[in-house]
Structure 1
Amino acid sequence: MRKKLVWLLSAVMVVSAVMLGGCGGKKVTAESIIQEVNANMEKCKSFTGDMNMDMTMGMSDGTEEQEISITMGGSLEATTDPVITHMDVTMDMLGMSVDMDVYAQVEGEKTTTYTGVMGSWTKTEQETPDTAAMENLYTIAGDGKNMTLAEKTEKIGDREAYVLTSTITGEELAGLMNSMGGDMTQGLGVDLSSMEAVVNMKVYKDKMVPASVSVEMKDNGEGIEIDGIVMKLGMTMVMNYSDFDTIESITIPEEALAAELLDTDAMMAEESELLEEAETGAETETAAE
């Protein structure tokens, strides 16, 4: 579960960088702002910032209810050539706190993620979303045409920022995640088609670069039914950008590079098998009663 959340979070960070863009023309519109920022981000060699994720999962079988809360937050830095992202984050779940050091490197069609916990490293590989998929994500998440530009700018420190918002439907959200990770959402056991996401972007007016991106996802209130269990999911992710072009390079530690490559397909198959066994056991126990 932890590795899937790390990959999901990494994927979301990639999307947030891609879907930002900048402006041309005399009239300032949401679309022109997105176009100009995008042009500026294409020239960007590196950036730093911080991010936070809060997720709640409520599960009910009709008689009992249970809620799980997961939070993750920390610092982030990234370079664009080569494409390497480094996150130093802390995840809190079920009363436990885990510090993680995460590196993700994109090399052509392959993205390798290195995760360090308490000095121990693991390595996984995922297929990198192709250009067409990323362009679809950009269109879905916000090319500016379906975004709303607030009438007034917002003060962030002593700087002015444009505020833009848009809503992504459940079907679009499901397509977005599937194109990014293939069976990523299937591995989490979540049908995103019944959800929607509200995207909020803030763009510094003076430099036309992103100040922050937030994505709030929630279900339709009725929840998602999986094998008789109704799950209600809510998730908020926020990425704040601080500096641009201040990092020359990111070095992945030798111990991370030397980590054993995990077979994610085999891990997911094993987890699915264990889940099925647990469900079968629970059904047998209920029938015996």
Structure 2
Amino acid sequence: MKIDLFVSRRKALKISQCKLCHGICTQATLSKFENQNRVPSLAILSKLCVRLGMTVDDLYQEGAATVSELHTVLDTIERDLMTENYPDAIKRLNTLQLNDIDAIPDKMQFCYLRGLGNALINQQPDKILFDFSQILNDLDERHQTIFTQLAFLGSGVMSARRQEIKQATFYFEKVNQYIKTHQDALKTNDDKGFLRMLTLIFFTAEFYASQGNYRLSNHLIDAGVHLCSEKRVTYYLPRLKFQATQNALAQQKDPALIQRLISETLAFARINQNQVIEVKVAALNCAFKKLREDYSSLA
């Protein structure tokens, strides 16, 4: 326990021991905690921490300094992965260590992010699966949280990139079933839950498109776009719209529809500052224009 953090916080706020412990405990109890490492009851310690604007977890948290700082880093990494900013995501992940994280939900978030991040940059399978196995076999061994589904998803992404289609299909079928049964059951105030559901939806739509199942892929894309609109979150809109454009092009849809999708994708990419999608759209637009020219010359 980082008692020195507690003491430095109290002194920084210029709060005396007498004032801090008033109505909570005796000054002797507080003094023994600060000077002799004699920890009071959790109820007392929690009240003292609240009065200093911190939590008991802050005193146990190593590495990232405080729980709130850790949450900020993890959430930033998650957004980086959503917007395909993989270099920054990996760089931030490398500043963290699993053993420095205490809370189980934070451990699961870290394992999911590191596993998926490594899958997306084609790291070795054993390195990727180690993180997912921590979730599936230990942290969420009863498979009750969305992190189990995210671990399945990451395993599917890894398998698909290694052209292990049978294994990838196994994982994505699990995820797709979860999406069907849970997308309407999200809590209205669970912003992270919505974003993680969008992660499941996007990568599953991408996989099924790669297998030529455009009907299912488009259905998932529509569900994702609807969720983005309903909850007013835009991180995934550029990627969802880009996948819809690719699907339309592969299905040789009406050129006017394809052009509209290209324009929408580019607009959302600029709004969300997703430069990766902007580059992809530019290349796709060139290919689309060439295709139209080829059709015109044959007419």
* Both structures adopt the same fold (TM-score exceeding 0.5): no
Which has the higher Rg, Structure 1 or Structure 2?
Answer: 2
Select the structure that is richer in helix: 2
Greater RCO (Cα-Cα under 8 Å, separation 6 or more): 1
**TM-score (norm. length: structure 2):** 0.23
**TM-score (norm. length: structure 1):** 0.23
